[in-house]
Structure 1
Amino acid sequence: MIKLVLYEDNPQLREGLTMLINGSDGFEVLAAFKNCENVVAEVEAYQPDVILMDIDMPIVNGIEGLKKIRAVNTDVKILMLTVFDDNKNVFEAISNGANGYILKKTPPARLLEYIAEAQTGGAPMTASIATQVLKMFSAMNNEKGEDYNLSDREKQVLQLLVDGYSYKMIAAEMYIAIDTVRSHIKKIYEKLHVNSKSEAVAKAFKDKLV
């Protein structure tokens, strides 16, 4: 028996989903709520296997609810069930720990399959959403930031900074004087428009400079 808790602000849809799920073998809705205002206490009280979560709800929406749950519970499966198929909501949901993302226009039989899939560790997504996710990750991987005209020597120094080397260790590794290291780092900071090692390292990761 797969036990669910629903979050949906539309009363007709909330009731319809409850009836659909409860009327299907192997599924049971333990409770249904109109927003995520008390989501942590509710999930703790009912201990569901799967949560069906709308995004656009008053007071506390589904993305905020997802974050609240994930701050205290990484085990429960959370399926976003929404009308939104825009990049921002998809990315927000997935990066904050949603197990799947499905649209409300999904046929009832398919919805039940998605719930079962999530419960067994799958990551169900409506086809159009899956395509978007692949495109998003592909774009992220291909996106190389500016190269800031760093010389090979400066890139080598930056790589060692990223690896946690001190100025002294960089000097020893590259067989150069510590003053030369300082000179390289000063130029790196100027080119990257940063003022500290942590900013330089953050920018190196963000723009895939190393």
Structure 2
Amino acid sequence: MDIQVAIFEDNKLLRDALRTILNGTAGYKCTGSYENGYNWENDIVFSKPDVILMDIEMPGMNGIQITKLVTQKFPNVSVLIQTVFNDTDKIFNALASGASGYILKSDPPVKFLEAITEVFHGGAPMSPTVAKKVLGFFSHENFIRVEPGSTDFPLTDREKEVLGLMVSGNDLKKISEKAFISYETVRTHVKHIYRKLHVASKSEAVMKAKQQGLF
């Protein structure tokens, strides 16, 4: 099964190049490419992507704003931020909005393909440059925390099992194997976990589970 990918990128040359790479590589298919964020919701409904390659700066709604809305309206779609920016604020604004990964436009094509695959299987890829900034950020006092709230989360036993496997660092594919359930069933459980914990990403879910003493 091909990984369905939609591209939001205002640079035509890069947008066309990414589309050509995806359609020319076995296992991937570009189902839509868009130059702005004006009609983002209709574009996603039309293209039905598994993964979105999302630019940050583009006409209309920017990529960070769209990413936050995608996690709410299309929870089964993963967003991979791709941008020329590598400053800490933009990285964390993107991740806090629910992005699953963050790569730089300067990364080689093979890294894009690897990141798309990793995101599709529940991973959270970052380029080495971005990862270094993330580690640096976590070592300072401005560490972003999920605010503690009620510890009475109505998780089912299966959802608790899936969340526990997420906390242990497993991606969705591994969770499927270890819990003996289908990949799509895992995605459904994760969607319910996000809703019940009031979070929008795997990192937030894991952080909240640890802060609330769920595991």
TM-score (norm 1): 0.65
Larger relative contact order (CA 8 Å, sep ≥ 6): 2
Structure 2 letter corresponding to 1:105: S
Q: Give 1:74 deviation, angstroms.
A: 2.0
- 8 Å contact kept, 1:8–1:57: yes
Partner of 2:95: 94
- Give the Cα separation in 1 of the matches to 2:139 and 2:74: 30
Query: Structure 1 CA distance, aligned partners of 2:43 and 2:58?
Result: 16
1:109 deviates by 1.3
**Amino acid paired to 1:52:** L
Q: Which runs of 5+ in 1 are unaligned?
A: 144-161, 164-210
Q: Give the deviation of 1:41 after TM superposition.
A: 2.1
CA distance in 1, matches of 2:85, 2:142: 24
Report the count of equivalent residues.
Answer: 145
1:64-117 CA distance string (max 9 Å, x none): 111221231222110001000001110100011000000001111121111111
- The equivalent of 1:63 in structure 2 is 64
Relative to structure 2, which stretch is displaced further, 41-50 or 113-122? 41-50
Matching residue's letter, 1:60? M
In the alignment, the residues of structure 2 paired with residue 2 and residue 60 of structure 1 have an alpha-carbon distance, to the nearest angstrom, of 25
The answer as to whether partners of 2:10 and 2:58 remain within 8 angstroms in 1 is: yes
> Would the aligned equivalents of 2:7 and 2:34 in 1 still touch at CA under 8 Å?
yes
Q: What pairs with 1:1-210 in structure 2 (closer than 5 Å)?
A: 1-140=2-141
Q: Distance in 1 between matches of 2:111 and 2:143?
A: 34
CA contact (8 A) 1:55 1:82 kept: yes
> Does the C-alpha gap of structure 1 residues 41 and 110 become closer, same or farther in structure 2, counting only changes over 3 Å?
same
Q: Alignment partner of 1:32: what SS?
A: strand
Where structure 2 has 5 or more consecutive residues not aligned to the other structure, the ranges are 151-215
Match of 1:31, SS state, is strand
Pair 47,138 (structure 1): closer, same or farther in 2 beyond 3 Å = same
Q: CA-atom RMSD, angstroms?
A: 1.9
Question: 1:39, 1:68 within 8 Å by CA — same for their partners in 2?
Answer: no
- Give the match's secondary structure for 1:139: coil
Contact 2:38 2:59 in 1 (8 A): no
Q: Indicate how the Cα distance of structure 1 residues 43 and 142 shifts in structure 2: closer, same or farther if over 3 A, else same.
A: closer
Distance 1:92 1:141 in 2: 13
Cα 1:6–1:138 change in 2 (3 A) is same
Identity among equivalent positions (%) equals 40
Give the TM-score normalised by the residue count of structure 2.
0.64
Aligned to 2:181: none
Q: Give the letter for the 2:86 counterpart.
A: D
Aligned residue number for residue 150 of structure 1 = none
Q: Which has the larger radius of gyration?
A: 1
